[in-house]
Amino acid sequence: MADVVAKLNEVLADEWACVRVLRRAEALSDEPGQLEVLKRVRKDCSLNCVTLANAIRVVGGRPTDIPSTRFTLKLTPESFADATDMVQSAQRHIIDGIGTLLDEPALKSVRSQLGQIQQLHKDDVRWLGSLLQ
């Protein structure tokens, strides 16, 4: 079980990173339409953090509140496209990470929540991608 909790916490750390980098992207945007999309996606990611934290508690673990280093690396200077690209990279990694966990027998009780998080990210990747076109 400890192995599964560790993997869920890695996903949660990447999810916290999404929230942090989305805030950076918001600070780099002055276009109201873009800002609205970023805020909506950040809200989704924040909700995912809560859902994941609850799932970790359900399986007996302790959720992390520290964003992953890998997806919070910041380019200097950082452009709006750089920050948004980083969020997309993290989201794709989360989608894959959850994909490897869905069939874990130990996570049967939280499978539907994980599936919802994965679907939310799939939708948001497309949505965020439209900002970069």
Partner 1 sequence: MDGRIFKVRRDTVINPRTGHPHDMYVLEQSDWVNVIPLTDDDQVVMIEQWRHGTRTVELETPGGLMDEGEGIEAAARRELLEETGYAPAKVERLGTVFPNPAIQHNRQHYVLATGCRKVAEMQLDHAEDIIVRLVPLRDVAGLIRTGKIMHGIVIGGFYWLDMYRRG
Q: Under the rule (CB under 8 A), what is the footprint of partner 1? A: 10, 68-71, 73, 85-86, 89, 92-93, 96
The values of phi and psi at residue 84, to 5°, are -65, -40
Shortest gap between Cβ of 93 and partner 1 (angstroms)? 5
Count Cβ atoms within 10 A of the Cβ of residue 89 and give its class: 0-12 exposed, 13-18 middle, 19 or more buried. middle
Shortest gap between Cβ of 89 and partner 1 (angstroms)? 5
Closer to partner 1 by CB, 4 or 40: give it: 4
Shortest gap between Cβ of 15 and partner 1 (angstroms)? 14
The residues near 97 (Cβ < 8 Å, ≥ 6 apart) are: 7, 10, 11, 14
- 62 sits in the region (left: phi over 0; alpha: psi -120 to 50; else beta) called beta
To 5 degrees, how large is the angle CA 130–CA 126–CA 95? 145
Closer to partner 1 by CB, 40 or 97: give it: 97
Shortest gap between Cβ of 109 and partner 1 (angstroms)? 24
Closer to partner 1 by CB, 6 or 50: give it: 6
Closer to partner 1 by CB, 58 or 81: give it: 81
